[in-house]
Amino acid sequence: MYLVVVGILALILTFPASPFPGLAQRLPALTLVAAATLAPAAVAWLTCRRAVRLLEAEPEDPSRGQAAYGRGVTISQYALALAHGGVIACTGWLSFCQRLPHIDWIPGLPGLVAATPFLMSIVFVWIALYPAERAGRQIALEHGLFAGRPVHPIWELRNYLVFQFRHQVLFILAPMLLVLVARDLIDWNKDDLIARFKNQDAPDLLLGVAAIGVAIVTPLLLRYVWDTRPLPAGPLRDQLETLCRRLGMRCQEILVWRTGGMIVNAMVMGVIPQFRYVLITDALLERMDDSKIEAVFGHESGHVKRRHIWFFMLFALISGCMMTVISQYLRAERRWFEVLLIVAGALMVLKWGLVFGWISRNFERQADLFGVRTLALTGLPCGSRCELHTAQGNAAAPFAALDGRRLGREPLCPTAAHVFADMLFEVAKLNGIPPEAPSWRHGSISLRARSVEAMALDPGAARRFERRVGRIQAGILIAAALSALWAGWSIRAWTLLGISL
């Protein structure tokens, strides 16, 4: 669903008016908008009826019903994307919204109005899917009770809708609205800006700066968009805070992310410490013991300490710079317009489709290794023959000698690697994900588990892997610096500073 929401909202953000307004008249366009709002829900309702029937007929083996429900969700998403993408691209809907009387002077509002049919359509789809969702949860609840696991009551429609809206829509919509406001403000003052900076590209550059600003403060926004609260005082909080201090990892707050027991997960967000949060879901806290929670926390700290978020920002910056360079060429060279566009599109698909996934999987494995090292720092008792703990002299020592700020050179403890691998399998099981299931951004659970355990036994492999990630990061840094220079040169960025060459 994320992709559909990001895609449609990005269309609204990118195009002030439709690129192919085939249907510019008011009445047919509005009729199509209404149809696009209702049609996906009808599709969802039809597919979900079958899922409910199957779930009710075979409660002992809900797999067929669940598969039918999964297919229904996917088909409804395609329907949403097609219907609303089509309306935005091919009718005059965006232009109507830009010219609405009374509100056309409030930045961001015309764009929000343009997105409203899409947002309503999503809610209708969820209402249509809810009976199947509920039937599935009912069966899971009965299984949970039978197995003696902690269970949460099944959500009423209202709670379900609020949760879905906050987690699937609002967390994208809120930061995008900020960018939309910035875009409108810049767009309306375009001529002034160009005149003041004596540069055609000043408005675009300013929008780029605004987008970076939004990316920095977004974690603060998400803290409230999602249902979170600070991790209550207690032994666990003390342990995690001690870890933060020893690792030299600064964050604004450790938050419990309340998902009604639905999601077993953790994440860290935020580029700078003032806007950085570590989130741990309620279900993870409920179902895992403290050493495994520390392992999860160690993995998230690894993303911070190895600066993964910075490198992803740089990676995105490369795209921005390349777009700038290409748009400069387009301005000069009308003849090669189509060819350039296709080349640019292919490069973007390659970059985000293949390279991004590969980098992300390497970063995840580096964070896993960091998680293993963090576990050793917590004083996990070690029973195996282990270079780290023999060097420390005492298998149960609290490892005061380990410097948490400089983790990375010491040998890996196989016991810690084993606990970490166990944690990975447990997270997969609790989320109902098969350990072998491939994951584009993370790599499969069993692959990650095998990899940390193998590296704990072979220090040479661990060093080689760390060097490889180092080379990847250096590559990103060099590519970002070069493309920033190229983009700066192509838009004559020095003129912005009043320097003439």
Nearer to Zn ion, 259 or 415 (CB): 415
Under the criterion CB under 5 A, does residue 76 sit at the interface with Zn ion? no
Query: CA-CA distance, 490 to 400, in Å (whole number)?
Result: 53
Q: Which is nearer to Zn ion, 249 or 413 (CB)?
A: 413
Task: Give the 3-state secondary structure of residue 279.
Answer: strand
**Nearest distance in Å: CB 211, Zn ion:** 24
**Joined tokens for residue 173:** 């919509």
Q: Which of 365, 366, 388 is nearest to 376 (CA)?
A: 388
Q: Across the strands, what pairs with 91? A: 23
**Nearest to Zn ion of 94, 382 (CB atom):** 382
What's the first-to-final CA gap in the chain, in angstroms?
49
Residue pair 12/115 in contact (Cβ under 8 Å)? The answer is: yes
- Chain positions 375 to 404 lying near Zn ion, rule: CB under 5 A, are 382, 386, 389
Candidate residues 243, 255, 413, 427; the one interacting with Zn ion per rule CB under 5 A: 413
Q: Please work out the total of residues on this chain that contact Zn ion, with binding judged by CB under 5 A.
A: 7
CB of 309 to Zn ion, least distance (A): 11
Distance in angstroms (rounded) separating the CA atoms of residues 224 and 214: 15
Extended beta strands in 247-370, E state: 253-257, 266-269, 277-281
Token pair, residue 310, equals 């910075």
Does 372 participate in binding Zn ion (rule CB under 5 A)?
no
**Residue 55 binds Zn ion (CB under 5 A):** no
Length of the chain measured in residues = 501
Q: What tokens appear for 152 in the block?
A: 């949460």
| Closer residue to Zn ion (CB): 62 or 404 | 404
Q: In the complex, what is the shortest distance from the CB of residue 435 to Zn ion, in angstroms, rounded to a whole number?
A: 16
Contacts of 334 (CB under 8 A, 6+ apart): none
Task: Verify binding: residue 291, Zn ion, rule CB under 5 A.
Answer: no
Least separation in angstroms between residue 363's CB and Zn ion is 7
- Report the candidate in 342, 345, 322, 369 with the shortest Cα–Cα distance to residue 469: 369
Stretch that binds Zn ion, among 70-78, 171-179, 313-321, 363-371 (CB under 5 A): 363-371
Closest approach of Zn ion to the CB of residue 163, in Å: 23
CB 406 within 8 A of CB 358: no
Q: How far is the CB of 401 from Zn ion (least distance, A)?
A: 14
The verdict on 415 binding Zn ion (CB under 5 A) reads yes
**Site track 149-168 with Zn ion (rule: CB under 5 A), x = hit:** --------------------
- Footprint of Zn ion on this chain (CB under 5 A)? 364, 367, 382, 386, 389, 413, 415
